[in-house]
Structure 1
Amino acid sequence: MGRDRGDQGQRWQQDHQEARPAQHQAEAPGEEGEEGSPLGIAERDVILERERPAARPDARATSLGHRDDIQGLRAVAVLLVALGHAGIRFLRGGFVGVDVFFVLSGFLITGLLIAGAEKRGFVSLREFYARRAKRILPAAALTLIVTDIAAYRLLNFVRAKQPIQDSIWAAFFSANVQFARQGVDYFARSQPPSPIQHYWSLAVEEQFYLVWPVLLSVVLVGIAVRRRRRPSDRSPGAPAERAFSERRLALVIIVASLGSLAWSIYYTHRTPAAAYFATLARAWELGLGAALAIGASRFAHLSDRARAVMGWAGVAAIGLAAVLFADTTPFPGSWALLPTVGTALVIAAGIGNERSPRGVGAQLARAPLRYVGDRSYAFYLWHWPVLLIAASYAGHTLSLGPNLLLLGGAFVLSIASYALVENPIRRAPLRRPVRASAVLWGTTVALVVLVAVLDLRSIDQKVLLKHATPVGAIPTLAPPVEASPGAPRALPAVIAAVQAARQGSPIPGSLEPSIDRLLSDRYHPPSPDCVADHDEPKIKQVCPLLEAGSSRTLVVFGDSHAAEWMPAILWAASQDGWKVIPLIELGCIPSRYANVCAPFVEWAEREVASLHPDAVLVGARLTVGTPKQRADSVSGLGALATAMRPLAPDVVLIGDPPAQAGQPTDCLLTRGATLQTCISTLTDDQLSVYRDAAGAVTAAGAAFIDTMGWFCFENQCPMIVGHAIAYRDNQHISTTYALELRQLFRDAFTQALTA
């Protein structure tokens, strides 16, 4: 997804608040006497007091009716998200649109709950959940089903399985859990984002609303009990004459929100990829909107000047966040205060007078923005799958122009689904809310799961028929040779693969690993604690391997480009009596020039000094970006070799295999693919940084294992060597190919130690 953490990005946002509060208040309440709650919560209509409060001006009534400025703000939020995903450079922080939605949702839903308590004398949990089901489920389920079918029909089976599996999590409002798990998985982060990823925010909201209405009900019950025990509070004009206590409700939500904010700041600093999707790290944003709804009356009599200042300041804060933030911003944490407080200012500025002449509300209430705002939920649901599936089908990232056209198509879909699905069901009367919502929820979940299971089963059958390969004994490859006098040495198998590619030979019918297992064909440590992730200062548990019968100690130090060699390293070590101690941090180049990785590098150097190993083997990704990045990569490895030389008799750097131009799964499953279409050509930058790294390491007194000929011949690097897929993704070699290289590695490592 656009902000796909990695991308993240990283890493995505949605709109699913109550679009027309006034209409919801007009719907028929649920029948008394029904039992059960649609989401499994014991039904208890919380009876407060049937007495009507004394008539007095109430800002909540004016703020919780239909507000055109809020519809306009919803349009701004969804456009920030969508245009940011389309690739507009100055909106790299467009993901803050989801934070705007969180605050809006907390404000609107809490206001509706409290208004219902004041009007009817009780909070109906069953009616609340029934209305949420009508509002959220139909459009969400429709989008999931269409996305599953489109992925199945348009994408290769490896790409299609991801959104189909994710849709099952989304159907149970647990998508954020799934994407948080992927966010902390280094290798999952290297894959393109899921077309379902934006459903994480629906999950956050619905998880919040499993708790908040119940908590609100408990507080209101406590207030009612206190009033019964203290009749004096029921005297005319006493604060307790109202059906609720603003002060107590505000205290509950403020304390809970501050706790959530504190956790968000801590968790974002510690594990940002997971914090982005975490409900507890986001709950304070909805809580901010809830607190604003509780205290709405305090903003009813603001002057026009104050409204103007607050409203425009709020819009400026949202815009500033969208322009200045990026995927690299630690988010949510304290940075999320900028767009969320900005949203609260805009909402507060419109309480009691949304069309103040000088205020921002009059601009937000313009007809085009209201039109988009009414359809913002549907547009949010459709825009991301349309962008992602189109890019995956094309096989490359699309530019801004095509993405804008795709957004136009997504908006047409949102208009249709709003008119034909979302609005008719949302406006349908509630006669038996518990039963209706339970049936609606069960039906939508069943349909999504049924489509997903059928698609997955069909994919698995295709895999068995076309791509499955029996796992046999993994051969070893012959050593490098000169294809011609004076030519760089290369493996005979690599030379043959390049020559076959030049002839346009077809891809072999049987491959190892099979394509469906390729992404998982990597080194798996004995425990996840045996390696560190990129944001951790050290390994939780140092894990010595092959201790029995070993006479020498080898430390393997580096990033995932060291981990990819572990299968070959462990085989060679078992043959020659080495104990292996991996000190590996995924996603972190072992260089002090990588600021975020410096704490781990310093810890690892201290650990090596305490271990007194016989040898240190370093594996690291070579950065091929800008000239400065290449220079830093080379000098960082040279400095590391210099620092390691006094700590071990032998220090060896293994050459980093050059990255492929694309993902092997995408290339190999492209219609009409041949060996010629699945081969990469080395760039001058790749060659120069490789040579410079070798020179820097040897100048520092360390040894260098040249692996270029194990992967490339005459500057061409095939994805397939013989029947082995050499790369599991565009920059990591497969375990299968690493094991085919095991004897070559053993010989090269032994030679490096004796050099």
Structure 2
Amino acid sequence: MRRELQALRAVAVTLVVVYHLEPRLLPGGYVGVDVFFVVSGFLITLHISRGLAADAPFSLLGFYARRVRRLLPASLTVLLVVGVVTLVALPQTLWNTIGRELVSAAFYVENWTLAATSVDYLAAGSHASPVQHFWSLSVEEQFYALWPLLLLAASVLGAKRGRARGAVIGAVAAITVISLAYSVHQTQQSPSWAYFVTPTRAWEFGLGGLVALTVPVLRAPAWARSALSWTGLTAIAGSAALLSGETPFPGFIALVPVLGALAVIMSGDVPGRHSPSRIGNLRPVQFIGDISYSVYLWHWPLIVLVPVLVGGPSYELPIPLRVAVVAAAIPIAWLSKEYVEDPFRGGGPRRGAARAAVPRGTRPVLVGAVAGMLVVGGLGGVAFGVSQARIDSAQAELTRFTAADLPCVGAASLEAGCAGRTPDGVVPDPMIATRDATEQNCQQAAARAEVIRCEYGSDAPSSTRVALVGDSHANQWMPALTRIAQERGWRLVTYVKSGCAYAVGLGSANCQAFNREVAERLRSETPDVVITSARSGLGYGSHADTAAAVRGFAAAWEPLIAAGTQVYALADTPEPEKAGLSDPPSCVASGDTCTISEARALPDDALVMAAERTGAAVVDLRDSFCFDGRCPSVIGGVLVYRDSNHITSVYARSLSTVLGRHLAG
């Protein structure tokens, strides 16, 4: 193995692990995955091209069997452990997602599952799956399945014209260009989809493959190759430090870490005092590179599962313990490599029974792989099936409950005359809490700028015209507002977007574009009432300080107020995550009290400060959430929160009476 490739793997896995441990340290550390893709594309293409050029025919089954021996034993071991831990020790609120993703990961389609279910900002606060990181392994396996077929077909067709190698290079170049163009397009149109799917990532493997087919190592002076290698490492490190979760990715920007990785590969192992190889060849670096695959496999399940096993679904490990958990991934990864990976690969120091028990023929290896995938998939299927049955039952119960519109439930239980009339149990069942989100089709995604307009209530010309604007914390009031609109004959329209407070100069570029268009529509529609809210204490999408946020809100509202529109600013709801409770539904399911501190859950709200400055009306319903400085997760038999920061639709609907009283003034 070329030592610079092992060093590059060490860099890649370190970036990913640090990013997963604490994203604020390396907000773009996810580019480590792109480095892995380039290295894989280089090595696999080099291996296949040598096989195609050899005298003996290239064996597809032999290639697949080697890939299986290299990758599946360790990955299936991790998935098996996660599956057993899920069924034995995790709350059922987590089974559905983990079960579904275990099946997807076992059959290496996790990237497509995440692409299909990804809802960017709406997923905030939901408990991360311990196998979520298998999306990148799924992309690699799909590449391994299709790449040799492409190269073999190109070689056969090219051989008929005496240009087998040229045909292979041409095919790889064509796939690379097409994939890059598609990646750029999809990153603009649907970033969540673009991040996960294989066609938007194929060009990264393809560029690695082109280098393998053309200039696997530059023939240049050592000083020039050393400078190129340092440049490549700087590009990778700079990407990890300067990119973030808000960066549209992969798209064109992914070229920076990808080309950086290619520069290191083409430079090779460069001798000299000032060469990066002097560091890359150190034994600790080579050791991390050697176990990088196992480190990648084990570190994320440890990060996700250990806090749940130690303190429950809402427990967050202190930073020193989180570092200790990640550090523990290194010896676990070494053991996994020594006792799982190496025996199946046919190398390493392990001898005796472990090596003797490993199948050697191509067919036994492939059959064993399928059997292992079926076992893991079965575990995931059990977790998914059991949880889905409970979900279906809970959903039916919720439908009956909502239709009945019972008095004295949720916030209504706080009204006079409701003492002792609170129903038993908790609605919605914590199993379906994250699904109890209303009107998501009318909420624009965080990465899109196009305005979505939805309309409710009366269409009479004389009806009061009301507009709801803001982010998901504005949209969470829709169950109450639609009920009020129905009762009062309002015409209610909505302009809401994930992670995008209605303000001037705040948020991402597409948020600001969205808000400019909304401002134009409000100017032309001249609503009688505008209702707005926003998630507090987050910099409102742009890391703005409180003063800047107040100015941004005021600048957005002042034209409305000047035109005679009544603006209502809904103070933000208590946020469990800020008070240390990251998963209220799972907490409630475990039987804990799940009460949070009002002071911690309700930070300073720039929205309220802006209302006081502009004369907008403030609607603060904290008395419907908190009592004596504490905010419970269940009120009047209703689960208050569906995730770490949004309220359930059932509880929002129960607030319609008290909200209506505030909006009447």
Report the TM-score, using the length of structure 2 for normalisation: 0.86
Q: Is the 8 A contact 1:719 1:725 kept in 2?
A: yes
Q: CA deviation at 1:588?
A: 0.9
Q: Identify the match of residue 235 of structure 2 among 294, 314, 317.
A: 317
Q: Identify the match of residue 262 of structure 2 among 326, 337, 344.
A: 344
**Distance across 2 between alignment mates of 1:479 and 1:312:** 61
Tell me: CA distance 1:82–1:493, structure 2 relative to 1, closer, same or farther (3 Å).
farther
Q: Which amino acid aligns with 1:538?
A: E
Tell me: CA distance 1:680–1:399, structure 2 relative to 1, closer, same or farther (3 Å).
closer
**Distance across 2 between alignment mates of 1:451 and 1:391:** 22
Instruction: Please list, as runs of the form range in 1=range in 2, the aligned pairs for 1:30-45 lying within 5 A after superposition.
Output: none
**Distance across 2 between alignment mates of 1:321 and 1:422:** 31
**Distance across 2 between alignment mates of 1:164 and 1:493:** 45
The corresponding residue for 1:194 is 129
Q: Is the 8 A contact 2:585 2:641 kept in 1?
A: no
Q: Identify the match of residue 334 of structure 1 among 252, 266, 288.
A: 252
**Distance across 1 between alignment mates of 2:431 and 2:494:** 29
Q: Is the 8 A contact 2:411 2:654 kept in 1?
A: no
Q: CA deviation at 1:113?
A: 0.3
The corresponding residue for 1:275 is 194
Q: Identify the match of residue 292 of structure 2 among 376, 392, 414.
A: 376
How many residue pairs get aligned? The number is: 639
The corresponding residue for 1:303 is 221
The corresponding residue for 2:68 is 133
**Distance across 1 between alignment mates of 2:27 and 2:485:** 47
Q: Which amino acid aligns with 2:303?
A: L
Q: Is the 8 A contact 1:623 1:633 kept in 2?
A: no
Tell me: CA distance 1:69–1:602, structure 2 relative to 1, closer, same or farther (3 Å).
closer
**Distance across 2 between alignment mates of 1:254 and 1:465:** 53
Tell me: CA distance 1:73–1:669, structure 2 relative to 1, closer, same or farther (3 Å).
same
Tell me: CA distance 1:140–1:479, structure 2 relative to 1, closer, same or farther (3 Å).
closer
Render the CA deviation track for 1:6-61: whole Å, top value 9, x for unaligned.
Answer: xxxxxxxxxxxxxxxxxxxxxxxxxxxxxxxxxxxxxxxxxxxxxxxxxxxxxxxx
Give secondary structure in 1 for the equivalent of 2:156. Answer: helix
Q: CA deviation at 1:592?
A: 1.5
Give secondary structure in 1 for the equivalent of 2:531. Answer: strand
Q: CA deviation at 1:146?
A: 0.5
Q: Identify the match of residue 738 of structure 1 among 643, 646, 652.
A: 652
The corresponding residue for 1:511 is 426
The corresponding residue for 1:630 is 546
The corresponding residue for 1:668 is 588
Identity over the aligned pairs, expressed in percent?
31
Tell me: CA distance 1:746–1:192, structure 2 relative to 1, closer, same or farther (3 Å).
same
Unaligned runs of 5+ in 1: 1-65, 228-239, 482-489, 498-506
Q: Is the 8 A contact 2:410 2:651 kept in 1?
A: no
Give secondary structure in 1 for the equivalent of 2:468. Answer: strand
Q: CA deviation at 1:289?
A: 0.8
The corresponding residue for 1:385 is 301
Q: CA deviation at 1:632?
A: 3.1
**Distance across 1 between alignment mates of 2:298 and 2:184:** 31
Q: Which amino acid aligns with 2:232?
A: G
Q: Is the 8 A contact 1:550 1:577 kept in 2?
A: no
Give secondary structure in 1 for the equivalent of 2:467. Answer: strand
The corresponding residue for 2:405 is 474
The corresponding residue for 1:608 is 522
Q: Which amino acid aligns with 2:487?
A: Q
**Distance across 1 between alignment mates of 2:2 and 2:226:** 17
Instruction: Please list, as runs of the form range in 1=range in 2, the aligned pairs for 1:532-611 lying within 5 A after superposition.
Output: 532-540=444-452, 542-547=453-458, 551-552=462-463, 553-596=465-508, 597-611=511-525
Instruction: Please list, as runs of the form range in 1=range in 2, the aligned pairs for 1:48-197 lying within 5 A after superposition.
Output: 66-87=1-22, 90-120=25-55, 122-197=57-132
Matched, 1:522 2:437: yes
**Distance across 2 between alignment mates of 1:71 and 1:302:** 22
Give secondary structure in 2 for the equivalent of 1:744. Answer: helix
Q: Identify the match of residue 378 of structure 2 among 450, 469, 479.
A: 450
**Distance across 1 between alignment mates of 2:116 and 2:601:** 38
**Distance across 2 between alignment mates of 1:360 and 1:615:** 63
Report the structure number with the largest CA radius of gyration: 1
Tell me: CA distance 1:313–1:535, structure 2 relative to 1, closer, same or farther (3 Å).
closer
The corresponding residue for 1:255 is 174
The corresponding residue for 2:349 is none
Render the CA deviation track for 1:87-118: whole Å, top value 9, x for unaligned.
Answer: 38644433222122111100100000000011
The corresponding residue for 2:631 is 717
**Distance across 2 between alignment mates of 1:345 and 1:593:** 39
The corresponding residue for 1:617 is 531
Tell me: CA distance 1:296–1:580, structure 2 relative to 1, closer, same or farther (3 Å).
same
Q: Which amino acid aligns with 2:406?
A: P
Of 586-595 and 117-126, more deviation after overlay is shown by 117-126
**Distance across 2 between alignment mates of 1:682 and 1:388:** 28
Tell me: CA distance 1:399–1:251, structure 2 relative to 1, closer, same or farther (3 Å).
farther
Q: Which amino acid aligns with 1:159?
A: L
Q: Identify the match of residue 443 of structure 2 among 503, 528, 531.
A: 531
Q: Which amino acid aligns with 1:704?
A: V
Q: Which amino acid aligns with 2:430?
A: I
Render the CA deviation track for 1:522-541: whole Å, top value 9, x for unaligned.
Answer: 2135xx3x33112222235x
Tell me: CA distance 1:157–1:493, structure 2 relative to 1, closer, same or farther (3 Å).
farther
Q: Is the 8 A contact 1:624 1:689 kept in 2?
A: no
**Distance across 2 between alignment mates of 1:748 and 1:121:** 82
Tell me: CA distance 1:459–1:225, structure 2 relative to 1, closer, same or farther (3 Å).
same
**Distance across 1 between alignment mates of 2:620 and 2:477:** 14
Q: Is the 8 A contact 1:186 1:586 kept in 2?
A: yes
Q: CA deviation at 1:432?
A: 5.4
Q: Is the 8 A contact 2:114 2:135 kept in 1?
A: yes
Unaligned runs of 5+ in 2: 347-354
Q: Is the 8 A contact 1:307 1:356 kept in 2?
A: no
**Distance across 1 between alignment mates of 2:474 and 2:45:** 52
Q: CA deviation at 1:387?
A: 1.1
Matched, 1:414 2:317: no
Q: Is the 8 A contact 2:226 2:270 kept in 1?
A: no
Q: CA deviation at 1:603?
A: 0.9
Q: Is the 8 A contact 1:726 1:733 kept in 2?
A: yes
Tell me: CA distance 1:623–1:214, structure 2 relative to 1, closer, same or farther (3 Å).
same
**Distance across 2 between alignment mates of 1:579 and 1:392:** 46
Q: CA deviation at 1:383?
A: 0.8
Q: CA deviation at 1:648?
A: 6.1
Give secondary structure in 2 for the equivalent of 1:112. Answer: helix
Tell me: CA distance 1:719–1:415, structure 2 relative to 1, closer, same or farther (3 Å).
same
